[in-house]
């Protein structure tokens, strides 16, 4: 099935398997709609996946489906890229990696190049029902633009890379959401996509591969190398198809879920969060 969506201001057609649309995506949309109606207020979902996995396109596809499906609460899909530190900050701050002192700018996109404290504060603010300003990352300026958009949706789907890494400033960020989603993907597929993305942007093959080795590869391995368990987990295959690996009970109308047996808001099937034992220190 082809879905027409807008990504970074460009109209594109994304292609997904019919079985993924019908068996995974639509049930997720229905599940979040039911959860928002039951709990009220703004329902927040954090979706984490490695660079190159197509998480932005998928989040927008889910939002589009929510508008197209009868009886579903519309989803607002939004990214965390607006929380990149400004380039001026990245240029003036350094980081020691492999014994070498480098600017943060040279590792832009790594987990430590984001204003996580600002993101946490905004997620907490978005819990209310009022419109909330949100920054956007400009692909023209290659920099973050503060308060470029507003959070208005009753269901907010925030996509990013590092929500599930469970360390440093990112530890426990899932507590600010009602549900978390994690998507894994094969390294070979991600490498091909990320190098291809650089080539489309005008880089030579040598430049694209060098950037992958210097930056993207490390970021991908950080996300895939270990993650805090999410409420729902998906695996992206080499063929671009999705397999639900955790959380099926949420999609098939588990009776305990429907009765509202939950330990806390948004985490119906567990009495306490595994993040409660993690430190938020850097």
| pTM summary value | 0.86
Contact of 264 with 273, CB cutoff 8 Å:
yes
Torsion sign across C-alpha atoms 167, 138, 60, 267: positive
Predicted local distance difference test score (pLDDT) of residue 8: 59
With respect to residue 11, please indicate whether it lies within any of the assigned structural domains. Answer: no
With respect to residue 209, please indicate whether it lies within any of the assigned structural domains. Answer: yes
Q: What is the pLDDT of residues 70-121, one digit of tens each?
A: 999 999 999 999 999 999 999 999 999 889 999 999 999 999 999 999 999 9
- 51: CATH: 3.40.50.300
With respect to residue 269, please indicate whether it lies within any of the assigned structural domains. Answer: no
With respect to residue 195, please indicate whether it lies within any of the assigned structural domains. Answer: yes
- Residue 35's φ and ψ, nearest 5 degrees, are -65, -40
Q: How does residue 165 score in pLDDT terms, banded at 50, 70 and 90? A: very high
Whether residue 195 has pLDDT greater than 50: yes
Structural domain containing residue 221: 17-258
Predicted local distance difference test score (pLDDT) of residue 6: 65
CA atoms within 13 A on the CB side of 232: 26
Angle at which helices 55-68 and 26-39 pack, to 10 degrees? 70
Q: What is the pLDDT of residues 235-278, one digit of tens each?
A: 999 999 999 999 867 575 433 333 333 334 444 333 333 222 22
With respect to residue 278, please indicate whether it lies within any of the assigned structural domains. Answer: no
Q: What is the pLDDT of residues 1-27, one digit of tens each?
A: 777 766 655 667 778 999 999 999 999
Per the rule left: phi > 0, alpha: psi between -120 and 50, beta: everything else, 232 is: beta
37-41, 143-147, 234-238, 250-254, range with the lowest pLDDT? 250-254
Work out how many domains the chain is built from and give that number: 1
Question: Which residue intervals of 94-216 are DSSP H helices?
Answer: 116-126, 187-200, 205-211
What would the two tokens of residue 90 be? 């990245």
With respect to residue 188, please indicate whether it lies within any of the assigned structural domains. Answer: yes
With respect to residue 273, please indicate whether it lies within any of the assigned structural domains. Answer: no
Q: Would you list the DSSP string of 174-203?
A: GGGSSEEEEEE--HHHHHHHHHHHHHHTT-
In this structure, the strands spanning 179-184 and 232-236 are parallel
With respect to residue 12, please indicate whether it lies within any of the assigned structural domains. Answer: no
């Amino acid at each position: 099935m082809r879905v027409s969506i807008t990504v970074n201001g460009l109209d594109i057609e994304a292609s997904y398997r019919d079985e993924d649309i019908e068996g995974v995506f639509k049930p997720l949309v229905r599940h979040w709609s039911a959860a928002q109606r039951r709990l009220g207020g703004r329902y927040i979902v954090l979706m984490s996946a490695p660079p190159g996995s197509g998480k932005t396109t998928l989040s927008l596809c889910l939002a589009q489906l929510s508008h197209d499906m009868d009886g579903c609460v519309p989803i607002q899909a939004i990214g965390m890229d607006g929380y990149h530190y400004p380039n001026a900050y990245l240029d003036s701050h350094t980081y020691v990696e492999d014994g070498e002192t480098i600017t943060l700018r040279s590792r832009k996109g790594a987990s430590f190049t984001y204003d996580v404290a600002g993101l946490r504060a905004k997620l907490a603010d978005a819990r209310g029902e009022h419109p909330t300003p949100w920054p956007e990352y400009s692909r023209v300026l290659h920099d973050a633009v503060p308060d470029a958009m507003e959070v208005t949706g009753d269901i907010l789907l925030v996509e990013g890379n590092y929500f599930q890494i469970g360390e440093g400033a990112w530890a426990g960020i899932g507590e600010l959401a009602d549900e978390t989603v994690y998507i894994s993907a094969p390294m070979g597929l991600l490498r091909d996509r990320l190098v291809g993305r650089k080539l489309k942007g005008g880089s030579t093959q040598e430049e694209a591969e060098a950037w992958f080795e210097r930056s993207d590869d490390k970021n991908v391995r950080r996300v895939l190398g270990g993650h805090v368990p999410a409420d729902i987990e998906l695996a992206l295959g080499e063929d671009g198809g999705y397999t639900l690996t955790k959380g099926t009970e949420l999609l098939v109308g588990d009776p305990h879920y429907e009765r509202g047996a939950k330990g806390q808001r948004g985490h119906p099937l567990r009495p306490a969060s595994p993040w409660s034992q993690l430190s938020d220190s850097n």
